[in-house]
């Protein structure tokens, strides 16, 4: 039970930063689609995970968020936040 609660807190922390921090939002205020890996100076999912959960592997966090139905990974490795 404790592990499940910890995963929920982890997910909420990632999504809160993604939805609220200007670096991860478009000019219209919507969460950006993020590439998994960094590219030049653009934000990435890996950067988001490092900011929210230092030391956690981005791919493991992605797997958990996908399992919970909170994100979608597209073929070109873009991570899309689904509306909550």
Q: For position 8, what pLDDT does the model report? A: 72
Mean pLDDT of 2-29: 85
Q: Report how far residue 8's alpha carbon sits from residue 34's, in angstroms, rounded to the nearest whole number.
A: 21
**Domain residue limits at 72:** 2-81
Q: Got the DSSP string for 12-65?
A: HHHHHHHHHSGGGB-TTSPBPPEESS-BTTB--HHHHHHHHSTT--HHHHHHHH
Q: How many domains does the chain have?
A: 1
Highest-pLDDT range among 4-8, 10-14, 21-25, 65-69: 21-25
27 burial level (CB within 10 Å; 0-12, 13-18, 19+): exposed
Q: Band of the pLDDT at 4, cuts 50, 70, 90?
A: low
Q: What are phi and psi of 39, to 5 degrees?
A: -140, 115
pLDDT beyond 90 at 75: no
Q: Name the CA dihedral angle for 51, 14, 30, 41, rounded to a multiple of 10 degrees.
A: 20
Q: For position 82, what pLDDT does the model report? A: 62
pLDDT tens, 18-34?
Answer: 999 999 999 999 999 99
């Amino acid at each position: 039970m404790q592990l499940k609660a910890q995963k929920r807190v982890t997910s909420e922390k990632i999504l809160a930063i993604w939805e609220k921090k200007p670096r991860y939002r478009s000019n219209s205020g919507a969460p950006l689609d993020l590439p998994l890996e960094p590219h030049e100076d653009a934000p990435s999912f890996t950067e988001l995970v490092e900011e929210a959960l230092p030391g956690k592997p981005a791919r493991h966090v992605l797997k958990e968020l996908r399992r919970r139905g909170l994100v979608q990974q597209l073929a070109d490795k873009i991570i899309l936040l689904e509306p909550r």
